[in-house]
Amino acid sequence: MIWPWKQPRHPQARAYKQCQRKAPGRRDIAENIRFIVLDAETSGFDRAKDRMLSLATMRIEDLELHLSDMNSWLIYQADAGLTEAVNVHGILPSETADGESEQAVMAALLPILGNAPVVGHHIGFDADMIDQAFRRHFGIRFRNCLVDTAELAMRELDAFARTGYANQRPPTLEDLCSHLEISMVDRHTAAGDTFTTAQVFLTLCARIQKRLKRDLQLRDLS
């Protein structure tokens, strides 16, 4: 029982919170799970100050990437400053003026996410940004289960296995792509990175499944 006065006011947020209770279990078969691959470009790498400038998602179902179901947004951020991150993704703050408001984008994102596990490269950072936006606009937390392709790769691919040294850096998306021979498209755009990440994820899933010699479960991924 959730007390009515603790319910978020925004209907999308309410629905989001509702469905979190029916999230896939750790032993659910990956093939039956809907995954959302996500990538965000931000104004910088400071979780507290910086903001999302663009966001893209794609859906994976039956462990197939559905090209028909792809979303990407440019987000208008009035007070985002010019930081070094602009050199990476090339989105100037002025350009985001064409974008939608953060609240509108987050409201659209909520039903897409639902209770699906969210896949991304270094997804932790993106998740933090989204979490803050959710709190700002709807007073809710971002609760989806996360699957980090960088983590998965370090676990699964010998080339990136943990060395035990503190200064080891997790592999970048480029590292993974060149290792797995996946051609990258539109690097450092939300849409392009999402697509590339999705292919990396599917590749890793196939490898893990082959190693395990049984159906892949959610717990094998997160």
Partner 1 sequence: MKAETIAIRIADFLKDYPPFKFLQKDDLVDLASGGRVKFHEADEIIFSQGHPRNQFIHVVQQGRVKILESTPKGEKLIDLRGRGDLLGLQGVFNEDPYVHTGQTEMETILYALPRKKFTDLIDQSVEARRYLAAYFSLNPAYHWSEHGDGSTSVKGSDHPITLRKGGLLEVGPPQSIAKDHLVTATADCSIREIAGMLRSKRIDCVAIVDKNGHPLGKVTDAVLRDRIAEGASLGGTAADWMQHSLGTAPPEDSTGQLLLKLAQGERQFLLVTENGGTDSRVVGIVSERNLFLQYGRFPTVVGEAIAYAPDIRTLRTLRDRMESLILEFIENRGTLKWLMEMTGVLNRKMTQRIIELAQQEMHSAGMTPPELDFTWLMMGSGGRDELLIRSAVYHALVYADPDKSQVESAELYFNEMAKRVSNGLRQCGFHESVQGVLAKNPGWCLPLSAMKERFRKFIEEPSSTHVYSARDAFDFRSLTTDCPIATALRNTIRETIGANPNFIRYMASDSLLNQPPRTIFQGYVVDNMGIQREELALKFHALLPLVDVGRVLALESEDLDTTTTWQRLERAAENLRNSDPATADVLHEAAEAFLVAQYARISRGLRAGTDGAVIRASDLDAETRALLVTAFRAILNTLEWMASRYGLTLRS
Per CB under 8 A, contacts with partner 1 among 37-96 are 54, 56, 58, 63-68, 70-74
> How far lies 172's CA from each of 29, 31, 153, 162, in Å?
28, 26, 10, 14
Shortest approach of partner 1 to residue 149 CB, angstroms? 13
Among 142, 203, 216, 218, binds partner 1 (CB under 8 A): 203
Shortest approach of partner 1 to residue 116 CB, angstroms? 17
Q: Does 192 bind partner 1 (CB under 8 A)?
A: yes
Q: Which of 206, 2, 33, 188 lies closest to 114 in space, CA to CA?
A: 33
Question: Token pair for residue 37?
Answer: 């691959």
b or e along 98-120 (b: 16 or more beta carbons within 10 Å of the residue's beta carbon)? ebeebeebbbebbeebbbbbbbb
Among 159, 206, 212, 215, binds partner 1 (CB under 8 A): 206
Shortest approach of partner 1 to residue 141 CB, angstroms? 27
Q: Does 191 bind partner 1 (CB under 8 A)?
A: yes
Q: Are 126 and 120 in contact, with CB atoms under 8 Å apart?
A: yes
Query: How many residues touch partner 1 (CB under 8 A)?
Result: 33
d(CA 212, CA 11): 42
| Binding span for partner 1 by CB under 8 A among 14-22, 148-156, 166-174, 185-193 | 185-193
Among 9, 210, 213, 214, binds partner 1 (CB under 8 A): 210
Q: Does 158 bind partner 1 (CB under 8 A)?
A: no
User: Is 157 buried (19+), middle (13-18) or exposed (0-12) by CB count in 10 A?
Assistant: middle
Kindly report the length of the chain. 222
Cβ proximity to partner 1, 134 vs 195, nearer residue:
195
Q: Does 116 bind partner 1 (CB under 8 A)?
A: no
d(CA 70, CA 68): 6
Q: Helices (H), strands (E): how many in the chain?
A: 7, 6
Q: Does 181 bind partner 1 (CB under 8 A)?
A: yes
Shortest approach of partner 1 to residue 21 CB, angstroms? 30
Which residues in this chain contact partner 1 in the complex, by CB under 8 A?
A: 54, 56, 58, 63-68, 70-74, 181-183, 185-186, 189-192, 195, 198-199, 202-203, 205-207, 209-210
